[in-house]
Structure 1
Amino acid sequence: MTQLPDPTMSLPAAPLADHLATGCAEGVQDTRGTDLMPPVMPMEMPEQDFTAPFQDRQAPQGAPRPQVALWRILAFSPAMLATAALTWVMQGWFAIGGFMGLELLLLALIAFNFFWICFSVSTVILGLYSLSQRDRSRPTGQVTPMQVALLVPVYNESPWYVLGNVRAMLEELSRVDGAHSYAMFILSDTRDEELAAQERLSVEALRADLPPGTALYYRRRARNTGRKVGNISNWLRHWGAGYEAMLVLDADSLMTGRAIARLTDALSRDPCAGLIQSFPQLIGAQSIFGRMQQFANGVYGLALAEGLARWTGHEGNYWGHNAILRTRAFAACAGLPKLRSRLSGREHLIMSHDFVEAGLLRRAGWRVRFLPRLGGSYEETPATLVDHILRDRRWCQGNLQHLNLLGARGFFAMSRFHLLHGAIGYLMAPIWFALLVIWALIGLGEDRSVIHYFSITNPSRPSWPDMSEPRHVLVILLIYAMLLAPKLLAVLALAMTGRRLDQYGGPARFALSTLCEILLAVLYAPILMVQQMIAVLRTTFGIQRGWSAQAREGGHYGLRHLLICHALETLSGFALSGGILAGFVSLWLLPIALSLVLAVPLSALSGWRAGTSRRGWMATPVVYAEPQITRAADRYRRSFKRYLDMQRQHPAE
């Protein structure tokens, strides 16, 4: 049986004076509710210097993996060759009369976009090959018992929601056999006093109801200095020395006891590993937009994740949750300083900290691994298009910061690539928008284009190709096909992972769900392109600030809010449609124009309920056969909600 330490046990603590003398974080005075915490077990967490390399002397020197070079060649080379071939073909269209600056810009934009499209395809193909190679070997290495802290940072979350998840995971852990010991920590940064009171009340009620020997702790900081980074580092500096590993969870995270034990075993067997990331599967989606993302994650995600694991090797990435970290390695190597802005000179928090922390761990000599086939790791997704956009704006702000760290000393090339890739994911949006505008201006050729081109007597303007010619249409179709290829290829992964179509409602319902997901993805893609471009502009001009709590069940947005939110898409769509009707713009842009014109109704549609498990849209195995842990979490959430409602109606005098 897995050992769960008693919440009342006394951990050996350093004298308080010694603790304060180390300068650990913000001091005990900055925390509340420490009566629900174990005694202080401090450890140092120095801030790292991006201008100097760093090597952790405690990091074991593991054997290199020479085969990872082959996987990287197989991932990058096809994308580079395909991009070069397309660029060579298209440059022939502009070669007559010599190249102009705008033509070179257009070619560069097309090549840049096409490379990343091809790279996704080659990654999925690698993943399919990897999945076809059944791994029959058993894990090697001795498992030594570890003290593991499960950390749940919360910020203005619904207490009944968080505690329902926590209870379900504690219940799962109580049934797992193993040598490891686990303790659950709720680390609150909640600013709302009413929510904070409900958090503490819920934790106290749960502690009283748990079996003896179950470890559940709660701490609320008086100031949320450093946001989530500060929350985790505060715990490390005060209590981290008591635990050899920490498993970081989000408020919407769920992990089965088996998945937690397997992650812990993997870290225990690999003394060179500083971080091991699981592949979270999306669950709980009830809306059309949420179900669309959940279906894509459940059907296409594993092949992409498996390919990613192949070419990243020991230079993997960290997504900030559902991952286990070696506590002392993380404290010694991943302390984040503030980042000084090159424009304003002011210091800012590193918002998307996870990518940077993974790079720092690898820089110091620790492995960062990814286990996509672990299973039993879950999270939820935004319910509506607007909620997705709001989250995307926060993520955009953090990922664009990474551009300032590409020159950090000591980072591995693959760590720099992760940082660049995250930023490019958002920079692609304005590039796509620029291509859309140029394509619209090119129109149907010189005679009917919005742009009036000059003759040979005035060669300062480029002579654009007629984009309606069959050979050019074939290239356009090729780009569309490459965009869809990862989805269509990843369907093959179902057979390789042992899944059956009846787990998706049967062949007919699976085919219908796949078509619905592709159609919705095509419709929402132009809207997301415009919104990501807005997010880039908001970040560039300093408009995007803050990191508000996510609406877990989805916000309720009226017509006025939707009209304001999607004004740019709607206006762009009408302008594009007008150009098509007037004959100035190619008919091939009609799907994009239709999507942009319908941005408001599509956004409203995104929040509609997707239906029941048997008749719902785009259902996956987690819908048809809901995992036990998600059923338990839902039951406990309802129980906590009733309890808190009753406490509000009849507060103790």
Structure 2
Amino acid sequence: MDDVSALPAAARRDAPPDRPSGTAFADALPLESPLPMPVQSLAAWDPALAHRPSRHHARPHAARLLVFGGAILLTGYGGWQMYETVSVSGSPTALQYVLVALFLLTFSWIALAFTSAILGFAVLLRRPRLPPVPAGLATRTAILMPVYNEGTARTFAAIEAMREAVDATGLGPAFDWFVLSDSTQADAWIAEERAFLALRDALGPDARLYYRHRRKNHHRKAGNIGDFVTRWGGAYDHMLVLDADSLMTGDSVVRLAGAMEADPDAGIVQTLPLIINRNTLFARVTQFAARIYGPVIATGLGHWSGRDGNYWGHNAIIRTKAFAAACGLPDLPGKPPFGGHVLSHDFVEAALIRRAGWAVYMLPTLPGSYEESPPSLIDVAVRDRRWAQGNLQHARIIGAAGLKPASRQHFATGIAGYAASPFWLCQLVVGIALVLQTAYVKPEYFTTEFGLYPVFPRFDPVRALQLFGLTMGILLAPKFLGLLLALIDGPVRRACGGAGRLVASCLIEILLSALIAPIAMVIQSGSVFSILAGRDTGWNPQRRDDGSIPFADIVRRHRWHTALGLVSGVAAFAIATSLFLWMAPTILGLVLAIPISWASGQLALGLALKRRGLLMTPEERAPPPIAIRAGALAARNQARGLDEADALATLHADPGLAEAHTRMLPSAEPRPRGSVDVDHTLAQAKVVEAETLDEARTWLGPKERMALLHDRALLDRLARLAP
């Protein structure tokens, strides 16, 4: 038996392969073109460093006055109505003042969404013009696909389909393609390399396709993109950042590149990705809502933001040198969840590049930008936990020096989006407390002030009902505006199944959203309280496939929600019938949390509605050609077993792949004297001890497998094991 431990560790890891060097794997990465990316200060900013625009750009003052002025007026009116409701019998109590304050906080959130939707509706009625398809491009763009333990068959199918679509425009040579892997699972890593080598071989000598795997996923996605910028960013004018579930047509890609080239002051141009390829009940509801209501809200946001817009982390094009100069993210002082590296980096990068004088804006009506969404309520809750932490962390950044007011507003909106749930929960608790106070606390009928009649503590029921109607109208208005736009747009209306099915689909979406809302409120409130208590979230890959969750897991996740609903219902009914009726929508959603969550992930329910023409979208009725092509390529890749193969067995059976993997490995980092890499040491001991491949596969744990895959000597030892 050969004992690789006889070699010094550094020599073993950096030793070149024994096989002769060839050219087959020499171009896995292009020559580096470094671009400095200095870490930015949040405490100080020198305006003299900012980019000077080449021409004057008008600011949307009127739009902002409409949106924010209207929201302030609506909130003021709603607050006054609430005050009048609780003060009908005289001066409000302390609890009633708390109720008014909580109402103002939650009402202001929906009022801003309402006025923004009004603006978006008005803009869409005018049918904004799209940027033209460029006849040629003088700039170079890198298209980046960051991946982290994703389904390789689908990811590389999307890359191949997009590559074909861009080449079909005749402008393909202006784009290079990078797969930037942060995968920490051995099977995913080797599957990515298999797919990369196969696709590059199929594309031929002009592939312009590159693959890089990072040994450590430092700073997660932001660090992944930052690594590209600092190593190859100097060779590209722009970078188009995707997500693992992104899909963009060739027309959309070249229009974005043309828009960036035509606007020398643009730093980031963001598209509105539409959700496609969803089949479970929850995912189809989300897909329908995003397609019908999303454009109204996004267009309003994009219009009042103007060139002070936001960035959502994917399906957007970025000026590379501007990003490098302005967007080096600092680590925040302290420990997570509020300290450490910036979790929701996209908002911060938009704010910093805007601070540096570059424009950030949205093209919400640009067609051909797509993404997918989580398949169930539990999957959304897992993702939302990470998003909640990232947005609440922005409370540490919102006051950074030099930021534009609109950038601070984007931060505030994100924070409020997650703070709204605990505020709503507190509002319910205070409402219950007020009913209890009325029912069980002896009122003070005669105050110290002189009066001929006793004072009875009570609410104004008529005004309360009117306020409820106003609140529901403002809450649902963006949905109705989106529905109205779809109804008057003939092709969209017909693609959604006609006016009747479109209206029915909206009613289904509203009903399901109303049932899910109390569950989401409790889940998000729990996430916020957990973050405030100092609990950090991990970074697990998002589950993107359609598929149900085991019922036992659903019960475990929602049993306390059901218990809370039952206890609240019994208590409310015991206190007062009126309280029970007031809380009935919330109680119903919580009591039914388990069956609702189960139904949300059911493929059969989603497809049953699809067969009846409900919750249909135009992209579902007539799938985009690129989605059809990507689906066919994904099926082909799955047939090749990309996502099922064991990494060690695959390398052992394919010496060519093993050689390619070895050549693509970066040089190992030097090991400080006295430090021991436990995973590598264990992997080495087990591989040396193993006599067969099956023994090695059985003995090696996930981290040890990754350590082995980074070590050339251990890989050589693996190759010489008996099958």
Q: Which residue of the other structure, out of 183, 195, 214, is the alignment partner of 1:202?
A: 195
CA shift, 1:383, in A, is: 0.2
Question: Hey, what's the Cα distance between the residues in 1 that align with 2:28 and 2:194?
Answer: 11
| Residues 45-75 of structure 1 deviation map (CA, whole Å, 9 limit, x = unaligned) | 0000001114475724244444501100011
1:136–1:61 distance in 2 versus 1, CA, 3 Å? closer
Match for residue 333 of structure 1?
326
Letter in 2 for 1:121: F
1:260–1:498 distance in 2 versus 1, CA, 3 Å? farther
Equivalences for 1:301-316 in 2 at 5 Å? 301-316=294-309
CA shift, 1:137, in A, is: 8.5
| Residues 131-154 of structure 1 deviation map (CA, whole Å, 9 limit, x = unaligned) | 122346976999751110000111
Q: Which residue of the other structure, out of 654, 672, 690, is the alignment partner of 1:652?
A: 654
SS in 2 for 1:438: helix
Q: Which moved more, 1:485-494 or 1:514-523?
A: 485-494
Question: Hey, what's the Cα distance between the residues in 1 that align with 2:204 and 2:591?
Answer: 57
Match for residue 220 of structure 1?
213
Match for residue 148 of structure 2?
155
Task: Tell whether 2:528 aligns with 1:536.
Answer: yes
CA shift, 1:579, in A, is: 2.9
Letter in 2 for 1:562: I
Question: Hey, what's the Cα distance between the residues in 1 that align with 2:176 and 2:477?
Answer: 44
Question: Hey, what's the Cα distance between the residues in 1 that align with 2:133 and 2:654?
Answer: 55
SS in 2 for 1:217: strand
State whether residues 247 and 370 of structure 2, in contact with CA within 8 Å, keep that contact through their aligned partners in structure 1: yes
SS in 1 for 2:400: coil
| Residues 160-183 of structure 1 deviation map (CA, whole Å, 9 limit, x = unaligned) | 121111111011111013486001
| Residues 503-562 of structure 1 deviation map (CA, whole Å, 9 limit, x = unaligned) | 011222222211111110111111111111011012111223211110111564333322
Task: Tell whether 2:474 aligns with 1:472.
Answer: no
Q: Which residue of the other structure, out of 94, 105, 113, is the alignment partner of 1:120?
A: 113
SS in 2 for 1:41: coil
Question: Hey, what's the Cα distance between the residues in 2 that align with 1:222 and 1:141?
Answer: 39
Letter in 1 for 2:384: D
Task: Tell whether 2:639 aligns with 1:642.
Answer: yes
Task: Tell whether 2:620 aligns with 1:631.
Answer: no
Q: Which residue of the other structure, out of 62, 86, 92, is the alignment partner of 1:70?
A: 62
State whether residues 178 and 209 of structure 2, in contact with CA within 8 Å, keep that contact through their aligned partners in structure 1: yes
Match for residue 238 of structure 1?
231
1:358–1:453 distance in 2 versus 1, CA, 3 Å? farther
Structure 1 outlier segments of 4+, above 6 Å: 140-143, 343-346
Letter in 1 for 2:403: F
Task: Tell whether 2:444 aligns with 1:455.
Answer: yes
Match for residue 108 of structure 1?
101
Question: Hey, what's the Cα distance between the residues in 2 that align with 1:595 and 1:345?
Answer: 30
Equivalences for 1:169-318 in 2 at 5 Å? 169-178=162-171, 181-318=174-311
Question: Hey, what's the Cα distance between the residues in 2 that align with 1:463 and 1:48?
Answer: 60
SS in 2 for 1:581: helix
Task: Tell whether 2:384 aligns with 1:388.
Answer: no
1:487–1:607 distance in 2 versus 1, CA, 3 Å? same
Q: Which residue of the other structure, out of 315, 323, 348, is the alignment partner of 1:322?
A: 315
Letter in 2 for 1:455: E
State whether residues 278 and 372 of structure 1, in contact with CA within 8 Å, keep that contact through their aligned partners in structure 2: yes
Task: Tell whether 2:353 aligns with 1:361.
Answer: yes
Question: Hey, what's the Cα distance between the residues in 2 that align with 1:618 and 1:593?
Answer: 26
Gaps of 5+ in 2: 1-24, 449-454, 656-723
Match for residue 675 of structure 2?
none
State whether residues 147 and 243 of structure 1, in contact with CA within 8 Å, keep that contact through their aligned partners in structure 2: yes
Question: Hey, what's the Cα distance between the residues in 2 that align with 1:75 and 1:258?
Answer: 33
Q: TM-score, with normalisation over the residues of structure 2?
A: 0.81
Task: Tell whether 2:560 aligns with 1:568.
Answer: yes
Match for residue 370 of structure 1?
362
Q: Which moved more, 1:272-281 or 1:301-310?
A: 301-310
Q: Which residue of the other structure, out of 73, 83, 96, is the alignment partner of 1:81?
A: 73
Letter in 2 for 1:589: M
SS in 2 for 1:163: helix
State whether residues 315 and 415 of structure 1, in contact with CA within 8 Å, keep that contact through their aligned partners in structure 2: yes
Letter in 2 for 1:627: P
Question: Hey, what's the Cα distance between the residues in 2 that align with 1:142 and 1:257?
Answer: 13
State whether residues 569 and 580 of structure 2, in contact with CA within 8 Å, keep that contact through their aligned partners in structure 1: no
Q: Which moved more, 1:588-597 or 1:573-582?
A: 573-582
Q: Which residue of the other structure, out of 475, 492, 495, is the alignment partner of 1:483?
A: 475
SS in 1 for 2:60: helix
Match for residue 30 of structure 1?
none
SS in 2 for 1:408: coil
SS in 2 for 1:566: helix
1:90–1:212 distance in 2 versus 1, CA, 3 Å? same
CA shift, 1:83, in A, is: 1.2
Question: Hey, what's the Cα distance between the residues in 1 that align with 2:416 and 2:339?
Answer: 23
Match for residue 587 of structure 1?
581
CA shift, 1:118, in A, is: 1.4
Match for residue 167 of structure 1?
160
Task: Tell whether 2:550 aligns with 1:548.
Answer: no
Question: Hey, what's the Cα distance between the residues in 2 that align with 1:219 and 1:139?
Answer: 33
CA shift, 1:458, in A, is: 8.3
1:255–1:346 distance in 2 versus 1, CA, 3 Å? closer
Match for residue 422 of structure 2?
430
State whether residues 143 and 269 of structure 1, in contact with CA within 8 Å, keep that contact through their aligned partners in structure 2: no
State whether residues 131 and 497 of structure 1, in contact with CA within 8 Å, keep that contact through their aligned partners in structure 2: no
Q: Which moved more, 1:496-505 or 1:216-225?
A: 496-505
Q: TM-score, with normalisation over the residues of structure 1?
A: 0.89
CA shift, 1:216, in A, is: 0.8
State whether residues 336 and 536 of structure 2, in contact with CA within 8 Å, keep that contact through their aligned partners in structure 1: no
State whether residues 445 and 465 of structure 1, in contact with CA within 8 Å, keep that contact through their aligned partners in structure 2: no
State whether residues 440 and 576 of structure 1, in contact with CA within 8 Å, keep that contact through their aligned partners in structure 2: no
Question: Hey, what's the Cα distance between the residues in 2 that align with 1:516 and 1:105?
Answer: 35
Question: Hey, what's the Cα distance between the residues in 1 that align with 2:623 and 2:568?
Answer: 44
CA shift, 1:495, in A, is: 5.2
Letter in 2 for 1:652: D
State whether residues 255 and 378 of structure 1, in contact with CA within 8 Å, keep that contact through their aligned partners in structure 2: yes
Q: Which moved more, 1:64-73 or 1:409-418?
A: 64-73
SS in 1 for 2:474: helix
1:138–1:253 distance in 2 versus 1, CA, 3 Å? closer
CA shift, 1:345, in A, is: 11
State the aligned residue count.
Answer: 615
Letter in 2 for 1:410: G
Q: Which moved more, 1:551-560 or 1:524-533?
A: 551-560
Letter in 2 for 1:548: N
CA shift, 1:344, in A, is: 8.2
Question: Hey, what's the Cα distance between the residues in 1 that align with 2:581 and 2:356?
Answer: 54
CA shift, 1:568, in A, is: 3.2
Match for residue 24 of structure 1?
none
SS in 1 for 2:491: coil
Question: Hey, what's the Cα distance between the residues in 2 that align with 1:477 and 1:58?
Answer: 48
Match for residue 6 of structure 1?
none
CA shift, 1:203, in A, is: 0.5
SS in 1 for 2:607: coil
Question: Hey, what's the Cα distance between the residues in 1 that align with 2:33 and 2:373?
Answer: 35
State whether residues 309 and 361 of structure 2, in contact with CA within 8 Å, keep that contact through their aligned partners in structure 1: yes
SS in 2 for 1:174: helix
Match for residue 133 of structure 1?
126
Task: Tell whether 2:626 aligns with 1:600.
Answer: no
Bigger-Rg structure (1/2): 2
CA shift, 1:274, in A, is: 0.5
1:52–1:146 distance in 2 versus 1, CA, 3 Å? same
State whether residues 67 and 115 of structure 2, in contact with CA within 8 Å, keep that contact through their aligned partners in structure 1: yes
